């Protein structure tokens, strides 16, 4: 683990950009294989997944559409609360194969609500790709079908994920050890 001079004090790098890129290539290969003959739509879960979507897209070698859904249950806080719906997808999901793109699978409340929304909208299939999986026993709902990197039970940020609203631009995935639970 290394520290990064211009990030919040004590920030520790969990994964470098190169390590994340390498994982995204692996995940993209799985998606390419599984959605070869499907009419795929990727739904970016804003805001956190914006970098993950942008960085995995060039590795997808299949025809696909993109859209987004904007929900938030953390806001600027480090603990989750009620899920706020800020924007729904514009594309009709009826009969579509939906792949939700997430930055992090933490307690699973966001994903459970999104799966339910897609299913109620008539999607033929709903799966999730999450770049990171937070390691703890407080999960609920179904696990993402495509999971990338393991992170400890701390608040993590960077590569699209915020800390108190900032540092989504941090070049890698970081944690501040004091936020460990």
Ligand X SMILES: O=P(O)(O)OC[C@H]1O[C@H](OP(=O)(O)OP(=O)(O)O)[C@H](O)[C@@H]1O
- Contact footprint for ligand X (CB under 6 A): 45, 47-48, 72-74, 80, 102-111, 162
| Calpha distance 108→136 (Å, rounded) | 11
User: Which single residue brings its beta carbon nearest to ligand X?
Assistant: 48
- DSSP states of 32-61: HHHTTTS-EEEEEEETTTHHHHHHHGGG--
Least Å from the CB of residue 33 to ligand X? 25
In this structure, the number of other CB atoms found within 10 A of the CB of residue 154 comes to 19
Residues in contact with ligand GUN by CB under 6 A are: 48, 74, 104, 106, 155-157, 161-162
**H or E element, residue 114:** helix 109-120
Choose the contact partner of 72 out of ligand GUN, ligand X, none; CB within 5 to 8 A by kind.
ligand X
Choose the contact partner of 156 out of ligand X, ligand GUN, none; CB within 5 to 8 A by kind.
ligand GUN
Choose the contact partner of 109 out of ligand GUN, ligand X, none; CB within 5 to 8 A by kind.
ligand X
Alpha carbon separation from 68 to 51, 61, 92, 149, 156 (Å, rounded) = 13, 20, 12, 23, 22
Q: Among all residues, which ones are annotated catalytic?
A: 106
Please tell me whether residue 68 adopts helix, strand or coil conformation. Answer: strand
Least Å from the CB of residue 104 to ligand GUN? 5
Least Å from the CB of residue 49 to ligand X? 6
Least Å from the CB of residue 67 to ligand GUN? 21
Q: Please state the φ and ψ torsions of residue 116, each to the nearest 5 degrees.
A: -60, -45
Choose the contact partner of 108 out of ligand X, ligand GUN, none; CB within 5 to 8 A by kind.
ligand X
């Amino acid at each position: 683990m290394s520290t990064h001079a211009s990030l919040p004090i004590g920030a520790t790098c969990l994964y470098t950009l190169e390590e994340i890129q390498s994982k995204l290539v692996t995940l993209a290969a799985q998606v390419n294989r599984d959605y070869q003959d499907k009419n795929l739509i990727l739904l970016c879960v804003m805001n956190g997944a914006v970098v993950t979507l942008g960085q995995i897209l060039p590795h997808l070698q299949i025809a696909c559409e993109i859209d987004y859904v904007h929900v938030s249950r953390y806001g600027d806080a480090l603990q989750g609360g009620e899920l706020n719906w800020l924007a729904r997808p514009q594309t009709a999901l009826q009969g579509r194969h939906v792949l939700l793109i997430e930055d992090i699978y933490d307690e699973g409340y966001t994903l459970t609500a999104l799966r339910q929304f897609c299913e109620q909208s008539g999607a033929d299939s709903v799966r999730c790709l999450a770049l990171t999986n937070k390691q703890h026993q407080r999960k609920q709902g179904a696990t993402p079908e495509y999971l990338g990197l393991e992170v400890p039970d701390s608040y993590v940020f960077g590569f699209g994920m915020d800390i108190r609203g900032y540092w989504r631009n941090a070049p890698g995935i970081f944690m501040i050890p004091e936020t460990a639970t």
